[in-house]
Amino acid sequence: MRPTGVGIGEVARRTGLSVHTLRLYERVGIFAGPVQRDAAGRRVYSEWDIAWLGNCVLFRASGMPLAALAELARLVSEGPGNEADRLDLLRAHRQRVREQMTQLTDCLMLIDAKVAGYEKHLAAGAGGDPWQPNRP
């Protein structure tokens, strides 16, 4: 773990985000505290920044809006004293994630049923349409 700083291109490659998106994220305040710059003004991301970003990517993928991420970043950057608020944010998001998971599960069951229907249908060669049992 050398105390390296990493350029934006490298971070983009590592996280799968575009450099544009990284700059956008910074503008909307997703980093906890300002990203460091080198002498020429180029961004230098710390390993901590990158780890945080990794969490952000997960949170985003689970539907957390940028604004919420920014709020969390603000809380963290303010340092100790607001842990309860962070906890609230996390718990609220956890709730939403759980709801999503049950929806995804439902959807998966539906798809599985339809897929099974079509597979049987195709294997058996024709027959009525499995999706529209009784349409004009």
Which residues are at the interface with DNA (CB under 7 A)?
Answer: 7-10, 17-21, 23-24, 37, 39-43, 60, 65-67
- Burial zone of 2 (CB within 10 Å; 0-12 exposed, 13-18 middle, 19+ buried): exposed
Choose among a copy of itself, DNA, none what residue 107 binds, the Cβ cut-off being 5 to 8 Å by kind.
a copy of itself
Q: Which is nearer to a copy of itself, 9 or 78 (CB)?
A: 78
Choose among a copy of itself, DNA, none what residue 86 binds, the Cβ cut-off being 5 to 8 Å by kind.
a copy of itself
Helices 47-61 & 66-77 angle (0-180, nearest 10): 140
Q: What is the DSSP string of 74-104?
A: HHHHT-TT-HHHHHHHHHHHHHHHHHHHHHH
- Burial zone of 64 (CB within 10 Å; 0-12 exposed, 13-18 middle, 19+ buried): buried
* Beta carbon of residue 22, minimum distance to DNA (angstroms, whole number): 7
Using CB under 8 A, list all residues that contact a copy of itself.
32-33, 48, 55, 58-59, 61-62, 76, 79-80, 83-84, 86-87, 90-91, 93-94, 97-98, 100-101, 103-108, 110-112, 114-115, 118-119, 121-122, 126, 129-132, 134-135
* Beta carbon of residue 52, minimum distance to a copy of itself (angstroms, whole number): 8
Other beta carbons within 10 angstroms of residue 25's beta carbon come to 22
